[in-house]
Amino acid sequence: MRILLIHADSIEYEVKKKTKLAEVWDKEKDSFDEVLVAFCAMESPDEVDINRIISGAVLEIKETAGKVKTDRIMIYPYAHLSSDLASPDIAKDALVLLEKELKECDFFVKRAPFGYYKAFRLSCKGHPLSELSKSITLDDVPLKTEKGQVTHTFFVMKPDGTRDDVENYMDDSAFGSLLKKELNVPVSPGGEPIHVSIMRQKELVDYEPVSDVGHMRWLPKGKLIRDLLADYVLQILLPYGATPVETPVMYDLSDKAIFEHADKFGERQYRFKSGNRSMMLRFAACFGMFSIMRDMHISPNTLPMKMYELSTYSFRHEQKGEVIGLKRLRAFTMPDMHTLCLDMKESLSCFEEQLEMGWKTGLDFGTALVAVFRSTEDFFRENEEWVKKLVVKAGVPVLIEILSERVHYWIAKIDLAAIDGQGRPIENPTVQIDVESARRFDIKYYRENGEPVFPPILHCSPTGSVERVICAILENCGTLQVPVLPTWLSPVQVRIVPVSERHINEAKTVCNLINNSRIRADLDDRDESMGKKVRDAGMDWIPFVVVIGDSEVENNNLTVTIRGKSAPNKPYKETFTVENLVELVQKEIEGKPFRPLYTHELLSKKPRYI
RNA sequence: GCCGCUGUGGCUUAGUGGUAGAGCGGCUGAUUCGUAAUCAGCAGGCCGGGGGUUCAAGUCCCCCCAGCGGCUCCA
């Protein structure tokens, strides 16, 4: 919102001509003296939360009125203050609200009509405080703490199902780190997260200077890892019965359900005008999938119904200072599954199954996970035994947070987090029970008696965002003596190093054999020394390095350095036939998705990106 | 968004007001090599951007941008 404040001896106006936006108004002219005139324009970003903007405007006007010592205010609509106006209906209501709120603060308030051409005469006092221009955005007005009444209670549930005090777990373990974060226990500042340097050094991901903050460019090796992770999620969700869909990234805010769902989450969204429509960019895949569900015929016989989308991308306009590396982005890719459940009972059993998936992903990525379960007091009272069951099954202590009442769309959720190198949680997999969205989006099925039911909906991301998964994996690498990615995610799984030029042909044959066995192999055909080529293979964290020289050609075998078994400066070497090596690698990546090389097979042809 | 720190060839960096220096990488040549850097030569910088102070600015001041730390926040 833009406001131009003029402290005036007097203002008088006369209504000349109606526009099509005009409000109902009978007064032809009016005037006011010894007055603070507030010329106002509502802007499109204000539409997110008009009430907050107006309360900000009231504060601003109050302050200025106090300084110039007047209690007389004229509100004067003045669209010309902004080139990005809010819709007229909203602006009109906003100014009426402003009038009302100022009156409640004991000001004498007059308002000029909205949507008319008016002639006006103004005499500005001209003292230093008499002319003031202000811009009020949502960032200027702190959120009212409606949640202030809600109490949060924390305790730990042990793997045997009994309760324990959080104080007993505040150590340096992963679980302790989670507790400290959740309970706001101060921790010593850490340095730069290790994944930020790794992601660039290894040419996986980089910042994109010509985009917005928190939007990344993915280089071939990083792109491969992304795609493999997407394949991985699909591979666990398809057998579970999820059906993939793809939905738009932007939505029209004039749809009531869309607006409400978007509005609930405040101003951390990308919003923009497209023609005369107010649009938003999705911050999760809920919008599109709920819209599909709204238009579906839902039979109780086909429930639970699991719908899945890899939301490339989801957008969240996080504050600039919060965006960092791959941990917190403004554009990210979220595997997002929604499960329509028959009733609460079914949603609990689906919750259990989906939580199992979440725990499993931690094992598959080699990133240890810790858990916090949150629910409303009511939910916990009714389902304490079920919660115990979850914790017993997990076999690890779980932090429990009880909210005195429901503040979000969910009544229960679990968040699983990996811990980064500085002992800070990276929140990843989650399952949530949503009891609000079905009604809002009019998603329903009918009972036999014709009674409509708005079913509970589970939100589940079995891995958390792809970017955060990579973040957690790289952070984990940073703690290893000999860092290496899981073989199935390594952009190059096998590197062939010919000892000299005369071994290149043999090396090519081996390289082809391995690539034809669904293993990613490349060949260092550069005119470099052995030492150099071996060193570079190490720098690339190649899990299996094959050397081919006279002895190998003669004996028809391969000398393989296995990174996973090596200690720093102590390469572990073993001799294999091609067939044995292929078998070994295939066994290691068994059951995991495969994609071919995204980079050139010949290192001499491989460009450098960073 | 707020407070703080940082920004020098593609990368890592030296340079406290007086002619921008190195290593890696790149290119060229020599070398054809047995497990973490073979040797030599060459090219490459309006020192993040803009403004100011000064005879003189990478260096001091102001504004902006970006990255990181912290705060707030993460639906």
Residues with Cβ within 8 Å of A406's Cβ and at least 6 positions away in sequence, in order, are A376, A435
Give the model's confidence band at A148: pLDDT under 50 very low, under 70 low, under 90 confident, else very high. low
Query: What's residue A147's pLDDT?
Result: 45
Choice among A1-5, A335-339, A378-382, A428-432 with the minimum mean pLDDT = A1-5
What's the rounded mean pLDDT across residues A598-607? Answer: 94
Q: How far is the CA of A213 from the C1' of B50 (A)?
A: 21
Q: Is the peptide bond prior to A313 cis by the omega test (within 30 degrees of 0)?
A: yes
The distance (Å) linking the CA of A563 with the C1' of B71 is: 42
Q: Which nucleotide is nearest to A501 (CA to C1')?
A: B32
Give the pLDDT confidence score for residue A545 in this predicted structure.
97
Instruction: For residue A36, name the pLDDT band (cuts at 50, 70, 90).
Output: very high
Cβ–Cβ < 8 Å for A181, A175: no
Closest nucleotide (C1' vs CA) to A139 is B1
Instruction: Give the nucleotide at minimum CA-to-C1' distance from A201.
Output: B11
End-to-end CA distance of chain A: 43
Q: Chain B: nucleotides under 7 Å from a protein CB?
A: 1-4, 10-12, 25-26, 30-38, 66-75
pLDDT (average), residues A143-169: 82
Nearest to A473 by CA among A329, A366, A371, A334: A366
The DSSP secondary structure of A463-528, one letter per residue, reads S--HHHHHHHHHHHHHTSSS----GGG-S-SEEEEESSGGGHHHHHHHHHHHHTTT--EEE--SS-
Tokens of A256: 């009531």
Checking if the pLDDT of A130 tops 80, the result is no
CA–C1' distance A335–B66 (Å)?
30
Q: Which domains does chain A have, with CATH numbers?
A: 2-140 (3.50.80.10), 150-247+298-478 (3.30.930.10), 487-605 (3.40.50.800)
pLDDT over threshold 80, residue A408: yes
Report d(CA A492, CA A539) in Å as an integer: 12
Per DSSP, helices labelled H in A366-422 are 377-394
CA dihedral A120, A125, A128, A133 (to 10 degrees): -10
Q: Is the pLDDT assigned to residue A140 strictly greater than 90? A: no
Integer distance in angstroms from CA A209 to C1' B7?
A: 14
A150 pLDDT tier (thresholds 50, 70, 90): confident
- CA dist A290 and A293 (Å) reads 5
Rounded Cα distance between A137 and A1, Å, is: 6
By C-alpha to C1' distance, B1 is nearest to: A319
What mean pLDDT is reported for chain A? 91
pLDDT value of position A276: 86
CA-CA distance, A394 to A391, in Å (whole number)?
A: 5
Distance in Å, residue A7 CA to nucleotide B7 C1' = 46
Name the residue with the least CA to C1' distance from nucleotide B2.
A321
Q: Which of A124-133, A310-319, A416-425, A494-503 has the lowest mean pLDDT?
A: A124-133
Token code pair at residue A407: 């503040």
Range with lowest mean pLDDT among A123-132, A218-227, A328-337, A532-541: A123-132
For chain A, the farthest-separated pair of C-alpha atoms sits apart, in whole angstroms, at 105
Say which residue, A21 or A221, is predicted with more confidence: A221
Nearest nucleotide (C1') to the CA of residue A558? B34
Between CA A458 and CA A352 the distance in angstroms is 11
Average pLDDT of A182-189? 87
- Between residues A144 and A338, which one has the greater pLDDT? A338
What per-residue confidence (pLDDT) applies to A25?
A: 87
CA of A321: nucleotide with nearest C1': B1
Query: How many other β-carbons are positioned within 10 Å of the β-carbon of residue A137?
Result: 15
Q: Which amino acid is at A360?
A: K
Best mean pLDDT range from A71-80, A230-239, A262-271: A230-239
| Nearest nucleic acid nucleotide to A320, CA to C1' distance | B1
pLDDT band at A384 (very low <50, low <70, confident <90, very high): very high
- What stretch of H or E contains A231? helix A220-240
**Residue A143 pLDDT class (50, 70, 90 cuts):** low
Could you tell me if A50 and A94 are in contact, meaning their C-beta atoms sit under 8 angstroms apart? yes
Comparing A7-21, A134-148, A153-167, A482-496, the range with the smallest average pLDDT is: A134-148
Q: How confident is the model at residue A127 (pLDDT cuts 50, 70, 90)?
A: confident
Quote the CA–CA distance of A179 and A424 in Å, as a whole number: 10
* Three-state DSSP string of A298-354: CCHHHCCEEEEEEEEEEECCCCHHHCECCCECCEEEEEEEEEECCCHHHHHHHHHHH
| Percentage of chain A exceeding pLDDT 90 | 72
**pLDDT for position A287:** 94
Please tell me the distance from the alpha carbon of residue A597 to that of residue A195, in angstroms, as a whole number: 23
